[in-house]
Amino acid sequence: MPFVPVRHPRSGPPRRPPGRARRARRWTAALGVPTLALTLLAPAAQAAPAATEAPRSAHVTAGHETAGHELLRRLHAPRTTTADGPVWSPVATGFASTATDDLPHGTTGGAGGRTVVVRDAAALAEQAAAEGPRTILVDGTIEIGDGDMIEVASDKTIAGAASGGELVDGGLFLDRVSNVVVRNLTFRDSYVAGDWDGKASDNDNDGIRIDTSSHVWIDHNEFTRLGDGQVDVRKDSTAVTLSWNHFRDHNKTVGVGWTDDVVTTITLHHNRFTNVHQRNASLDNVAAGHVYNNWLSGVSSYGMNARGGAQVLVEASVFEHARKPLIADDGGHVHQRGNVFRDVWGEAPAETGPTFEASDHYSYRLDDVRAVPRLLSRHAGPVVGTAERAARRVVVAQDGAGDFLSIHAAVGAAARTPHPVEIVVRPGTYREVVTLWPGADRLTVRGATGDPSDVVVTYDKPDSDWANTPTLTVLADRVTLRDLTLANTYDGAAGPSPAYALRDAGERTVLRDVVVLGDTTEGDPR
């Protein structure tokens, strides 16, 4: 239909989870404006030893692929190849690879410009806003702070260095720009304690926000514990590709839309989603959305959603431990083929008929769907990933004095850990949805004081709601819940309906001194 490598753990949970105290501001550094504050805050960015300063035309028109290979050499990227090509491609893939008169090779980012290394937020903001093509290597952990968004100008590549690069408590904002590449980075910990829904007036903390922009390639990054959306693609952005990323331990992962126009073109391939709630992705008014070789495992609300006038093609992807894995509503259209659905519930995977053929727009080859979990377990995310696991005992505290700010995030780490984990929750009201996924066996979640009234886990959705998720769901075996209050505060205003505070589908679940305020249900929803 026509349309207008092996990852190595580097660290455990953050020792001091960042909090928020004020409204987020936006990092900017405009040419022609004095940058004394940037200079005072940090030393200037340093040129990498092997940086080149060839004119853009020399690199891009004669060797844009050579520039890509040089970047991968700097990153020590694996050379693994699949049926679809190199796991670490030297050139853009999907819709980001499509050519225009201005970009005859598709998205090339900073190819043809200088390569610089940055080690703090001020230097990153200055280099990201600079005029002309530039490759910016983030070396180490950069604390941005307060969930602020660093603005990125056109013709930029921002990548984590070979030893790893992290942006903590902040993100990147692409506003009316073109030709941007973001690779090999970890975006983490802009979560606002107590605001799991990301609805507070001072919480617009995205990992990457793309507004009215074109030719953007987001590749081999990790996103976890952010404030609002992990990646938002908004307001008529086009020629966007998200590939080989890992989205985890979050409520809203990838949102696409915020427009009445049906113009966005986007590819999502080889992305991994674990311990997530919704928008995996939500594709609203997308003219052409191509989804292939993705893996969703652990989805508590819904997986992928075709909305508005969206035209979506979903191929050779794996959906497991997922509620409503693939849906279409509000006039959305989805065509699917060769996907695997196992251990899913809530709604049959959507199929509305043929939409479009991605091969009419770019070349690709599907990897065998049976190999997708293995490939993404090894290669999704940065070269040096965090891959956090939990100690035998971890603490959740909303004041930042523990290991995690939310129970949801702690459960995600516990599910990745080969030994039993005890999660100790300090006093507070935790408004969030918690699912104890298969594999998190022998997990204990307990209140720190022994008084159930001190730790309240609550949500407010009825069973009749589209997101009718119990406040806490047990899908693992031999789980112990102690000294907690589990509540569903739905007030019946939208009509009578069960409102589940607890669903237990595990074997040998133990509840000790647990107060349940709301309905309970036993039995496997899958």
- Opening angle at CA 267, ends 261 and 268, nearest 5: 120
Residue that has been written with the tokens 């007030």 in this structure: 491
Rg from Cα positions in the chain: 23
The residues, ordered by sequence, that sit 6+ positions from 40 with a Cβ below 8 Å of its Cβ are: none
Say whether 353 sits in a helix, a strand or coil.
coil
What is the Cα 286 distance to its own chain's centre? 19
- The sign of the dihedral angle between the CA atoms of 400, 516, 389, 383 is negative
Task: Name the region of 58 (left: φ>0; alpha: ψ -120 to 50; beta: rest).
Answer: alpha
Q: Which of 279, 431, 446, 482 is catalytic?
A: 279
The span from the CA of 112 to the CA of 314, in Å, is 35
Q: Which residues of 316-331 are buried (b: 16+ CB within 10 A; e: fewer)?
A: bbbbbbbbbbbbbeee
CA-CA distance, 282 to 302, in Å (whole number)?
9
Calpha distance 310→288 (Å, rounded) = 7
User: Is 279 a residue of the active site?
Assistant: yes
Report, as residue numbers or ranges, the catalytic residues. 279
